[in-house]
Amino acid sequence: MIALEAHPEGTILPVRAHAGARRNSIEGTRAGNLQVSVTQAPEKGKANKAIVALLAESFGLRKSQIELVSGERSPQKRFLIRAIAPAELRARIRPALEKPSTAND
């Protein structure tokens, strides 16, 4: 189970990222984190932008609702998902975990 945290502006989503992967996808969960893979290299924020795009597409959100709050240069990241309560975000994550993502850049 993902360790979502309530935040005054929405929900904090913990993510474990793998940059430079073969495809963009949500891989599952591990140790309370959502595991994601993106094809972008971890340089100059490209992978972080790709993760934001993947999360937005997978959860039916606007990219502007998603903000990286910690872990800019680390595989362990925390994103603020604005205007979404933890229960609603959990409901949006569930279908994304059941099917492979098709987002490829």
15-67: per-residue pLDDT in tens? 999 999 999 999 999 999 999 999 999 999 999 999 999 999 999 999 999 99
| CA end-to-end span of the chain | 28
Contact 96, 58 (CB under 8 A): yes
Range of the domain at 16: 5-98
94 found inside a domain: yes
Distance CA(28)–CA(32), nearest Å, equals 10
59-86: pLDDT as tens digits: 999 999 999 999 999 999 999 999 999 9
Instruction: Give me the percent of the chain exceeding a pLDDT of 90.
Output: 90
103 found inside a domain: no
How far from 1 is each of 30, 31, 87, 90, 93, CA to CA, in Å?
8, 8, 12, 9, 11
105 found inside a domain: no
Q: How many domains does the chain have?
A: 1
104 found inside a domain: no
Task: Say if strands 76-82 and 66-70 run parallel, antiparallel, or are unpaired.
Answer: antiparallel
84 found inside a domain: yes
CATH number of the domain at 31, please.
3.30.1200.10
